[in-house]
Amino acid sequence: MAVAASARAAGKAGDAKTGGKADKAAAFPKDFLWGVATAAYQVEGAANEDGRGASVWDTFCRKKGAVFEGNSGETACDHYHRFKDDVALMKTLGVKSYRFSVSWTRVLPNGVGAVNGKGLDFYSRLLDELGKAGITPMCTVFHWDYPEALYKRGGWLNRDSADWFAEYAGLLADKFSDRVKLWVTQNEPQCFIGLGHLDGVHAPGDKLKFGDYLLAGHNGMRAHAKAVQAMRAHAKDPKATKIGYVLAAQITQPASDKPEDVEAARAAIFAVNGRHEWNNAWWTDPVVLGKYPEDGVAEYGKDMPKFKPSDLDEMKQPIDFLGLNIYKADTYRRGGDGKPEHLPIPDGYPRAGSDWQTITPASLYWGPRFFYDRYKLPLSITENGLAVRDQVFLDGKVHDPQRIDFMHRYLSELSRAIKDGVPVGSYYAWSLLDNFEWADGYKQRFGLVYVDYQTQKRVPKDSFDWYRKVIASNGKMLAEKTAVPVTKVTP
């Protein structure tokens, strides 16, 4: 399996200019998992069907002004009814793996307690369909759609939330670990805790005091760890079960290849400064290293949550890989005072449809490299993609050269990281389908497949066909000359 193979390659990281087990021309290992990703609330729809309980996102979407044009995930891509067509699309694409998430309230309408058989049945049928198509599932236990019933009991602020989450994760392992070997406990704690509980721009829309936000984060990480334990206890084949944790990876890149700039970018990527959620170490050190980063503890001072010292030991449960969702990088160099200096984005610099994303391909080189050097865990690129204001052209097709160029540049950088010995076992394009982009509603289209939300018609975009060829060549195609030279885009 790719993750395990990467772990072996990891041992050679120091001298692995040849890329360990990688095929030299392609750089990608033979068992590399090329994939696509989605998440339950963003694609499934069927929000009120077959006994699904309410999640905080159902409630948040009804709040005036919370989501672009009042959009919601009530119907989304109707994947709940069309999953067979969507798996057929994946088969045509040739992906080896599909990363999806389970809707917590579809299987446990109240978050804990009574199990909804119809909900379990949906995922069981999805897994069988993937099995028939020869596609390896990667199942994310939690991708933001928190049960409303548990939120009313205090949500992540309640210390019991860790046990609630473990009950849910254990149930999934019990029911699905015969077919799922690759698991992710949680997706992007920065977002479901930070955007949801500090900034209030995602569900549940809270703007907690900083100390309470830190407490919610603390319980979230405890929940991850308890879920790891529960899943290992319920796994049908514990040895084959690989469990990861996914970050909204905040990447830095050096302004030049000079060692002092590389070290400045490395220091910046793991620094915790500022009273906001946008850092890596706060969310990863406790889970992997069993401690909070010292700079953060010093900065947050009296706002630090009070917790039992044993929490930190419990939070550090062995995991098998780290998942990095990588979209962009910020640029650093060594400043005059010897400290990392952040370089501003030049005027007019290339950007995605989503304002927050600059086109910075080297993020897929430096991100994996810095993360591997610090945490020494095999890596998966669990998301990477580009929002484009796509449309169906007069010829009935969806031409998206920007996305092709984006993926070409980013994947070339990933291949460079693998050649330099960074153990990356899989890459998941975000996303298979255009889908509900949270507070941005249906404004942003990230899919390789265009979705007409009125008819639910799927139109594979040009990038779908391009990615199909990349997969078929195991990445060798990336080395081919293109009309547009693939140069580094670095501010």
Binding site for ligand NOJ (CB under 6 A): 39, 42, 187-188, 325, 383, 430, 437, 446
Residue among 44, 148, 277, 383 flagged as catalytic: 383
Say if CB 324 and CB 368 are below 8 A apart: yes
- For residue 392, what are its two tokens? 């169906």
* Adjacent-strand bridge partners of 142: 186
Q: Give me the catalytic one of 44, 188, 413, 437.
A: 188
Q: Which residue, 136 or 325, is less far from ligand NOJ as judged by CB?
A: 325
Residue closer to ligand NOJ by CB (options 41, 292) is 41
Sheet with 251-254: list strands edge to edge: 251-254, 329-334, 340-343
In the complex, least distance from residue 306 CB atom to ligand NOJ, rounded to whole angstroms: 31
Q: Which amino acid is at 110?
A: N
188 is catalytic: yes
Contacts of 482 (CB under 8 A, 6+ apart): 408
Mark whether 383 is an active-site residue. yes
Residues contacting residue 319 through CB under 8 Å, at least 6 positions apart:
228, 243, 244, 245, 287, 288, 377
Tokens of 412: 């070339």
Query: Pick from 190, 330, 183: which is nearest to 254 by CA?
Result: 330
Strand, coil or helix: 60? helix
Residue pair 416/27 in contact by the 8 Å Cβ criterion: yes
| CA gap 321, 140 in Å, rounded | 13
Please give the structure tokens belonging to residue 272: 């915790």
Burial of 30 (0-12, 13-18, 19+ CB in 10 A): exposed
Element of type H or E holding 156? none
DSSP-derived letter for residue 285 is: I
**In terms of CB distance, is 185 or 474 closer to ligand NOJ?**
185
* Cβ neighbours of 205 (radius 10 Å): 17
Q: How far is CA 39 from CA 27, 112, 132, in A?
A: 29, 21, 21
Concatenate the DSSP letters of all residues of 184-247 into one string.
EEEE-HIIIIIIHHTS-SSTT-----HHHHHHHHHHHHHHHHHHHHHHHHH-SSTTT-EEEEEE
CA angle 36, 40, 44 (to 5 degrees): 100
Q: Are 52 and 109 in contact (CB under 8 A)?
A: yes
Min CB(69)–ligand NOJ separation in Å:
17
Tokens 């900034």 belong to: 199
Place of tokens 């509900």: 436
Active site residues: 188, 383
